[in-house]
Structure 1
Amino acid sequence: MLTDQPLTAARLDGIALKPHEHDLSRAADLDTDLLNVDYEGREVFPDADALARLADGRDLRVTTPVRADGFDPLGDDSLLPLAAGERVLVAGNPAYLTDAERERAVAPRLGAAREQAPEAWVGTEGVERIAMAAGGPQYELLSRGTRRAVRALRAAGFAAEIALYAPVVLTDDEDALLDAVGGYASRRGPVRRALPEDAATDAAATGRAREVLTDAIPDFALVGTPETVGERVTDLKDAGVDTVVGYPARGLDAVLDR
């Protein structure tokens, strides 16, 4: 494991790995004890040996979409033995699901999966009320309302773990931010509605589109110098977040190199 990484100053608790984008063999170099392997479709899902290597000496969590074949607690759950480590239960990104999988009901599957894996994190994206009803640790996406919402949950007596997922870009260069997470920010509802039609969302964005995106990116991603991100993480934890997991939106090199 390398030391003196940007991750140290950024104070992230864990790293989200996307098999389609990240070389999982490099995870051993990351200065973090928590890894979360995201699901990006069966064709790139790591095999049992790869997951076992990641789990060696680490807290490994594996995202499992409860509607997908192989992870369906009410149907085909044949891939579950591969998932060494704890699970992150999600409805599943429709981009990685077949038409039939998208039609499956989320609520009963989340409930059944929670019975099988009571310590699993429950992803809230798009199914916030269902996730809360399922109970257990909640896995939230960073948004402009996260701090307020977490404070409200804690004030109402919610005592379970709250984990947070956010893209991370450890630079304050505007073009680099737009290239890394401009498209991601543009898909968030309020940003999508504010953008001009057919506007570029990367470094090619100009005028109104560039203004909207540069204003919105810090609402949905952890960006800036490692120290700036570290201050943001501390602020979120002061509000009641327990664990912050960052997705290296510019690849692993950007979080490994100082």
Structure 2
Amino acid sequence: MFTHIALSSLNGLELMVYNYVIKNKDQVMYMTIRELADGAQVSTTTVLRFCKKMNFSGYSEFRIRFKLYLEQEEKLLLTSGVSEIVSFFKSINNEEFEQLIARAAQHIAAAERILFVGAGTSGTLGKYGARFFSNVGKFSNYIDDPYYPISTNMYKDAVAIILSVSGETPEILKLASQFSLHNCKIVSITNSDTSSLARMADFNLSYHMPQILIASEYDITTQVPVIYILESIGKELAKKMGH
């Protein structure tokens, strides 16, 4: 119902509607458009735009189709957070997403150097990505220090794979601009393709998961989609290298 291609067309406010719908799916089918707008903290106009981008004629059709969609789902007892992950995998189970993975691999395959970049949890995943890519035969390094100096032309034939949930971390954006300045291509993996990092990148992949912060500071947004995306790109690279 919610494809990756359709989700990629949503702006920040429309993504708020999507995240609210996914987290409150049992209530949404009974809500008026005003109640949904208030719950998602957006306007009714934004809700209507969301419906249009999801290929519904209006809110009434969306609510009917959404109810049918839920009724067709298997009745599973899902723990907190699992429903969002299930929704992610459903959204990427199509040829369009496979093509995005193939395009990402194409950007990376010809590079002489691969650098994974991230801070915090994203830095840890960058280290994993570098090891996974190296395992499939594409030697990679990682940078998990957001203040790492980028000041030479050694990155001219390199690709920086930059990981960031928000895509708005100032230190990561500064690193990205330095990579661009030294003719290094950027492939970003972010939660939203409307973020600053996504717009700076030569190619971006987004996973559109509800962002969860503890104490308005510590990000515990699930990174299962990131691991899946990294492994999918790595396996595509292995195919290109004849493994």
The alignment's TM-score, normalised by the length of structure 2, stands at: 0.29
Task: Tell me which protein shows more strand as a share of its residues.
Answer: 1
Compute the TM-score of the two structures, normalised by the length of structure 1: 0.28
Q: Which structure has the highest helix share of the two? A: 2
